Structure 1
């Protein structure tokens, strides 16, 4: 274990890669505690489901309803107690809550062990409810703890590791439950011993979780779950990007719960396989989710990159559609296939590939959304927003179960349900992305910085994660604003030349980004004043304002004289009591590219006339300097700082 500071590490720790986090106490102890909890939940649930379905004869709990009843009892606490869980997580120290919850798990598993011994099915159902309650109370703490102990650059990787570990634990726990309960007459006691052992391991690892302070210790507890839930949703609604992220995550659980709940039926009635094939599907599901979750850090370059969300959503629909095409007319064998017989048939590999890639892109879709909520939600009520998300997740999962049941009863086949999900996913994703254009803008920025340029950012930590700031950058090309978007974990509102704003190719993107067009004061004084008023409002709202102080794109590749507009904006904000630092930035490597004004046509410097002028994957670098005091800096001083960044080796 590495040496850890006692304070929170959201900004003080040096960021490390996602796999290196497992060697650090601030993450490793939490990860294994979460892993043990997810493993135990599914070991207990699956073993109990198999026990009631195949071994115990319970007159008041028919086998065909056992899975539904157990699942409903486990998810019911999410509806009843998530609001309370969010308040507890904001009010009390996170490490203390986690340890108490893990001790509660040990007690519940001890009761369950006795119930297994005495065949007390009713008591086991109570334990299912209590385990659901324990998971409900743990959820908000889990996602509120991560941004406290992780650097912002580690949030995507940390969430990817947690998601991967959770789904691997779900599969391993389910498989272990099925194997242990099927051993024979001692199977029930092996399950009981296994649950107690894992609960004890979880408590032991929780003792290693470092201190994590309460975010709102003065919070007055309110016990009406409906009122608190409504207030939590209103808190989330204050930031539309956060609120739509909640909806996006809940939609992911809607789609995922349809698949997971139907795996046995899909294996038997669609793929014509036995229980081994159902287990194989569950393994592919978990591996796909894990692969996508781990891939997020690589593709996002260690920042919260919501540009991956549209990419994930698009391919979720693509592979749901292909899953429909691959399964709609599979041949009916004389008997159910084993896993090996299933794998021998070539056409089944297409089904497995579709399922794996569907889950991989689901991981790409979900991890950035979780990281976005953790990064942008106010720390004082972050856990309550996550609690509201848990309630939404539960509601979406219940609705998905009801709708799936109604469709199946109406004669709709499972492949047709895949088709319906593909179409519905496209509609839901389109709605979210059009309502919050930042997702699409970040996707375009991601494409530009991954598929057009080799983009490198130096000094990203100087961009503040909260509060107002002015980002001042040299102006080299028509895509400067998009590159700055790609480097920032937060949205940027750009003040830009009205002629660039009206560009036919890129103008729609700038309008979507709510850029602020500005014209020279002599040409259009009303537009000039309106632009400065809008810029002042952006800073009052605590947002990032992007400015190109040169006022126009360079025509010779050299830094032009900085104008006074940036100082006027900062000093006006200072006069209103708003402290606004200026972050100097320098783009290097763009001069000579397709989007720069290097071409001379009819005596004019023009851009975007020779595609692939310098080929593809050109090196482009953004250097970000330390914040400077806005009111006291002059245009000449700011220009000198940007020039220093341009000249740095």
Structure 2
């Protein structure tokens, strides 16, 4: 079963006090921390303390990273099937038992300094993470409703990056303890695994979404099948590609931090660690900001904001990094922070990673919300496979550029510019991102937009939104208030207006003309409206038929009844308030967009959605009366 409405809470942090979220959060937090404590401690061990001829220190980090990622390529498809077929709470507990066994083996490897055994444990911990990945993201939409999904994902992303940071720091500190470092790491890894199993015990039941699924154990054919499943929903598949690109982008920066700190910033190991801290904190802050900026909806309009920021700050990082000098011995952390020019580098890294958080969290939430529940985990598995492939590709690209003579700031510049190209490609292929971005700008930067009753706009299933028509941006504000796309029926003349016409064509709005003027366009509009509702989407209409010229609510026409005859669906009455007199309304002798600042900037406007009306209760007069009541509310 999917998420049911829960009591509203003031912020995402309230979820940490609830059993449906807190045990799961701490289980994944401890798992991510343990992964990174183990990997980093092992990397330091084979780099500085126990060196073997067949694993030179220069390759240790690369080999460990590759072994950890390999199971994602081999077993993600199988793990996605398991997560759809079985109760996710039971799978989480099984994975935690597996982690305890692996960490017990790894503990012996650390104490006995068995490098080959520890490499095998790296592969097994990759398998552990591969099994947990689809469960992790398919669990959330079963226990959180649409209003909580962005906040829940933000908490998980923040927790993951904080755990990565703490795990790396703890691993480095523990393994460096003279004589006893390996033993401390062994006990720490085993202790975190046991603690994760304890928290997993309190994860609530999460019933299987497809218990009759027959497991295909062939990872290659199932991987292809999962990718085809994901491709079945264009928005979901493009979001998966977008997330995979974010991992590509982030992996380039993370992999180059040690060299960037040493060769470009002329800093010591502490400076390299500080870059990782700044990057991780930025991701965490951006992830947490998503709920506030999205007003507790899945707001994919934040994705272009994040993409723009990622490019801007990556490009600025290139310029900020040029010509930075250091002393003969290089900078200590204190010396590095004492230089004003270095703060621009820190700010760019922080804002770049913050924007990456804004970019990724809405995409994860969109996948969880739009993917079919019966194969949601398999689609998450497809996402994990592509993430791994993109991370491998990022290593190849970065290595190739450096071999070709590019320095590290130039690599950052190339990736920043590539990000702009990839963003444009995704947003033009899936216009919903761009449209939501425009709606976000209109509702936050042009108006102070207050929404009430948006819980009446259905998250799933067909419905008609019937609103009063006051301005040329009514449809954009309706988009901003809705948790999902709306297909509008609009006067064919609006498509001739520069910019707005392009936007509405991009949104696949349906043009309509009076029957006497163009009977073909008139009939085609109703046929398209029927198709939209038949496919389970939201249809937006303005029953007045045209934008008001005097600010008063006009009579509602009967076209809505013709739609309901063919597709009897709920009708949600919507009132747009205080838009009359704004720049986009016809206040100047019937003309709009004449005096830009006649009401100043950030003027207050509102939207009120009423209780959905059953189709049999709808009449044009009754619907108009209901909208009039909402206007006065």
Asked if residue 633 in structure 1 is aligned to residue 631 in structure 2, the reply is: no
- Secondary structure of 1:283's partner? helix
Q: How many residues align?
A: 633
CA–CA distance in structure 1, aligned partners of residues 498 and 410 of structure 2: 42
- The equivalent of 2:22 in structure 1 is 28
Displacement after TM superposition at 1:647 (Å): 2.0
- Secondary structure of 1:360's partner? helix
CA offsets per residue over residues 525-576 of structure 1, 9 Å max, x none? 01101111111111122111100111111122222111111121122124xx
Give the unaligned 5+ runs of structure 1: 1-6, 575-579
Displacement after TM superposition at 1:232 (Å): 1.7
CA offsets per residue over residues 322-344 of structure 1, 9 Å max, x none? 11111132224211211111111
Q: Which moved more, 1:36-45 or 1:291-300?
A: 291-300
- The equivalent of 2:464 in structure 1 is 470
For the structure 1 residues 411 and 10, does the alpha-carbon distance in structure 2 shift closer, same or farther, using more than 3 Å as the test? farther
CA–CA distance in structure 1, aligned partners of residues 2 and 530 of structure 2: 33
Contact preservation (8 Å) 2:2, 2:373: no
Asked if residue 581 in structure 1 is aligned to residue 570 in structure 2, the reply is: yes
- The equivalent of 2:413 in structure 1 is 419
Contact preservation (8 Å) 2:544, 2:555: yes
- Secondary structure of 1:599's partner? coil
Contact preservation (8 Å) 1:567, 1:631: no
- The equivalent of 2:182 in structure 1 is 188
Displacement after TM superposition at 1:13 (Å): 4.3
CA–CA distance in structure 2, aligned partners of residues 233 and 547 of structure 1: 36
Contact preservation (8 Å) 1:10, 1:152: no
The structure 1 residue matched to 2:608, chosen from 619, 623, 628, is: 623
CA–CA distance in structure 2, aligned partners of residues 502 and 216 of structure 1: 48
Displacement after TM superposition at 1:8 (Å): 5.5
Contact preservation (8 Å) 1:102, 1:202: yes
Displacement after TM superposition at 1:145 (Å): 0.7
CA–CA distance in structure 2, aligned partners of residues 22 and 480 of structure 1: 38
Displacement after TM superposition at 1:168 (Å): 0.8
The structure 2 residue matched to 1:312, chosen from 306, 314, 320, is: 306
Asked if residue 501 in structure 1 is aligned to residue 495 in structure 2, the reply is: yes
Contact preservation (8 Å) 2:147, 2:296: yes
Q: TM-score normalised to the size of structure 1?
A: 0.96
CA–CA distance in structure 2, aligned partners of residues 20 and 316 of structure 1: 30
CA–CA distance in structure 1, aligned partners of residues 503 and 397 of structure 2: 38
CA offsets per residue over residues 499-523 of structure 1, 9 Å max, x none? 2232234111111111111000011
CA–CA distance in structure 2, aligned partners of residues 627 and 214 of structure 1: 32
User: CA RMSD for the aligned pairs?
Assistant: 1.2
- Secondary structure of 1:471's partner? strand
- The equivalent of 2:160 in structure 1 is 166
Displacement after TM superposition at 1:359 (Å): 0.5
Displacement after TM superposition at 1:252 (Å): 0.4
CA offsets per residue over residues 171-214 of structure 1, 9 Å max, x none? 11000000000001100000011111111111111111111111
The structure 2 residue matched to 1:563, chosen from 557, 560, 567, is: 557
Displacement after TM superposition at 1:10 (Å): 3.8
Contact preservation (8 Å) 1:470, 1:545: yes
1:247-326 paired onto structure 2 within 5 Å: 247-326=241-320
CA–CA distance in structure 2, aligned partners of residues 8 and 399 of structure 1: 35
Contact preservation (8 Å) 2:209, 2:374: yes
Displacement after TM superposition at 1:469 (Å): 1.2
- The equivalent of 1:646 in structure 2 is 631
- Secondary structure of 2:20's partner? helix
- Secondary structure of 1:597's partner? coil
1:524-543 paired onto structure 2 within 5 Å: 524-543=518-537
- Secondary structure of 1:96's partner? helix
- The equivalent of 2:453 in structure 1 is 459
The structure 2 residue matched to 1:598, chosen from 583, 587, 590, is: 587
Give the unaligned 5+ runs of structure 2: none
